[in-house]
Structure 1
Amino acid sequence: MKLFKTLILFFVSQTTLAQFHETIRTSRPGQAIEPFTVGKDILQFQQGLDYYSLADTKYPPHSFISNNVIRYGIIENIELSTLIDYQFEQTKLDTNSTYLSGLSNLHFGFRIHINDQKGWIPTTGFQVRLKVPKISNEFGSNQLATVMVLIANWNLPKNMSLGTNWILSYNGIDFYPTSKYILNFGFLIYKKWSGFIENYGQFRKNVFQTRFDGGFAYLINNNILLDISIGYGNNQNIQDYFISTGISWRIINFKKTIKK
């Protein structure tokens, strides 16, 4: 109990961190998430449409995922979040096609911004989400599962950045954890245009997989950002790829806005 109280006091005392940022900070595009929270009383939406398939396959499956993340800052350095994915999938064998659709992910969790960068000591954050089971007949898991992410980012010269995510997740089907990593290099292209390249991978039950992706983002204004990205992997003689596009937007002073 004393340890719990100490941790709460520590995080509350850090409310000078993760102050309101003039332009929107978002985890789109790419796989990596940033260590920052959205800021107190800011409601932020990150929405995208992803297309997945396999290459060099006679009957490749086609999968579309509507990805939605909702984030709300309860204090400057702590936020609550929800992940909602809806998936449509088509598989074909000869002349027979199978169609599946439904909720594929429903997560609830929080993120804490721990500290800002000091020299080579990175900006860090920590996120935990719980994966809700039995959300649809076609997709989802059988048991409650956790996804934990340790985040460490560095600001580099000339408007560049290096981001890392270190992830431990459970699928809710069995008790074998999956260890994941993400390495993200971000850079400014010109004025409101930015880009990134990533390498990310996972290790589970003695099987290692790695993939690469990259993309661009355009800042329409301080509160709205558009993005597009593509990714590719070649693991265990199977080639897969994806295309993703989306939008991130936020409402500042959300409580005041809904009272008007």
Structure 2
Amino acid sequence: MLKTTVSFLFILSVIFQTRAQYTETINSNRPGESQGAFAVGKNVLQLEAGGFMGNDNHSLFYTDTDILGASYGLRFGFLTEILELNFFGAFQQEKTLLSRGAVEEEFERANFKQNTIGAKFLLFDPYRSLEEDKPNLYSWKANQGFRWKTLVPAISVYAGANFSWWDNPYMFEGESFISPKAAIITQNNWGRWVLVINIIADKFTEEYPTYAGMATLTHAITPKFAVFGEYQGLVSDIYADDLFRGGAAYLIGKDFQLDISGLINVKDTPSRWQVAAGISYRIDMHKDEEYIEEDGESRWRYEEGEFIEKDESNEEN
């Protein structure tokens, strides 16, 4: 029993001492739909929200649906650099025109399409776990060659719960008011390029689960301006599709981001398009932990990303 307790405490100490990649500028999931592998950072509170509009046209059901809605997310770095608690949701209003010959009918529905509370945990960070390559003093070619370890991604896991309430028209008959959602997330950072992959199982305990795969490639053209492309494949007995997104984000200050994006698909049951715009804003309460190192007779303090020599005379006073 004592051995188990000691082992458990050791694992906890390793987890809570691990540092992920807190960034000096905001780290937002927008404007794509995928989640990055890294948390926002300990004690960072971040809001991600936007509006969207679009159209679905179904060639078999003879329906034409105009869509208007808003999406929102709240992310918080909790206890440690590698744990994030989050809440994502969307409210959607639809107006559908059903045409059968000379007869036309119009239907409307509006409600919360998604509300999900979850947690993301960083399991592996190659930028800290893998030993950095040392320069080869005898071979210029070896130094310029491809480094296979750059293909190793950061890996996170996500677990959450979907919540629905009241008489929600977006729920299927017999669907539970609470259902699970889980994901495996990977991320590769290659300079100005970032590749994020999400493998998602949504409502997998229900009669009609949805499984999805997403790949998002982002390129920073300048330190403030980035573009992205995204593919999302959906597999479900109710709705399966291939979705393509693209867009751009612009950084205004280190804590504020604007974004625009668009969506299309490749089939006509239904054919879809959508445009969106949004913002991301963070309240940065992150602080680097103090690190003191004895170096001969000098003492150093790690603060705000750099080592500062302590003035011992002032401390004594």
Q: TM-score range by the shorter chain?
A: 0.7 to 0.9
Q: TM-score scaled to structure 2, two decimals?
A: 0.71
Residues 196, 216 of structure 2: 8 Å contact kept: yes
1:116 aligns with: 125
Aligned-residue offset at 1:237: 4.6
Is 2:184 the counterpart of 1:150?
Answer: yes
- 1:91 maps onto 2:96 in alignment: yes
Post-superposition Cα deviations, 1:88-137, rounded to whole Å, max 9, x if no partner, equal: 11112355432222222221111112222342221111111100132553
Supply the distance in 1 between the matched residues of 2:212 and 2:8 (Cα, whole angstroms). 30
Q: Is the CA contact (8 Å cut-off) linking 1:14 and 1:114 kept in structure 2?
A: no
Alpha-carbon spacing, 1:11–1:236, altered in 2? closer, same or farther (3 Å): farther
Larger Rg: 2
Q: What are the ranges of 5 or more consecutive residues in structure 1 without an aligned counterpart?
A: 255-260
Contact 1:198 1:213 in 2 (8 A): yes
What is aligned with 1:104? 113
AA paired with 2:201? L
Q: CA deviation at 1:7?
A: 10
Select between 141-150 and 6-15 the one with higher mean Cα deviation. Answer: 6-15
Equivalent AA in structure 1 for residue 70 of structure 2: S
What is the rounded CA distance, in whole Å, between the counterparts of 1:11 and 1:151 in structure 2? 24
- RMSD, matched Cα: 2.9
CA contact (8 A) 1:17 1:116 kept: no
Aligned with 2:25 (options 23, 26, 37): 23
Quick check: 1:168–1:178 contact (8 Å CA) kept in 2? yes
Count of aligned positions: 252
Measured after TM superposition, the shift of residue 70 of structure 1 is 0.6
Contact 2:57 2:269 in 1 (8 A): no
Give the conservation status (yes or no) of the 8 Å contact 1:17–1:113.
no
Partner of 1:257: none
The alignment partner of 2:266 has SS state of: strand
Report how far residue 178 of structure 1 moved. 2.2
For 1:210-229, what aligned pairs fall within 5 Å after superposition? 210-229=242-261
- Once the two structures are TM-superposed, the CA of residue 164 in structure 1 deviates from its matched residue by 0.7
SS of the aligned residue for 2:33 comes to coil
Q: Quick check: which one's strand share is greater? A: 1
After superposition, what is the alpha-carbon deviation per residue over 1:136-162, rounded to whole angstroms, capped at 9, x for unaligned? Answer: 5333463121111111111124x1121
Question: Are 2:57 and 2:63, in contact at CA under 8 Å, matched by a contact in 1?
Answer: no
| Partner Cα distance (1:7, 1:113) in 2 | 19
Equivalent position to 1:138, from 169, 172, 178: 169
Q: Distance in 2 between matches of 1:85 and 1:207?
A: 18
Q: 1:135 to 1:186 in 2, by over 3 A?
A: farther
The answer as to 2:106 corresponding to 1:77 is: no
Q: Contact conserved, 1:226 with 1:247, CA < 8 A, in 2?
A: yes
Q: Distance in 2 between matches of 1:107 and 1:246?
A: 19
Give SS of 1:20's match.
coil
Aligned mates of 1:7, 1:99 — CA distance in 2: 55
Q: Is the 8 A contact 1:187 1:195 kept in 2?
A: yes
For residues 11 and 77 of structure 1, what CA distance do their matches in structure 2 show? Answer: 13
Change in CA separation of 1:65 and 1:136 when aligned onto 2, cut-off 3 Å: farther
Percent identity over the alignment is 24
User: Aligned-pair distance for 1:10?
Assistant: 5.1
Deviations 1:199-233 (A, max 9, x none): 11022249752121111000011101111111111
Q: 1:1-260 maps to which residues of 2 (within 5 A)?
A: 6=8, 9=11, 13-55=15-57, 60-74=64-78, 75-93=80-98, 96-117=105-126, 118=130, 119=149, 120-140=151-171, 142-143=175-176, 144-157=178-191, 159-170=192-203, 174-205=206-237, 208-235=240-267, 237-253=269-285
CA–CA separation in structure 2 for the residues paired with 1:48 and 1:217: 13
**Where does structure 2 lack aligned partners over 5 or more consecutive residues?**
131-148, 287-317
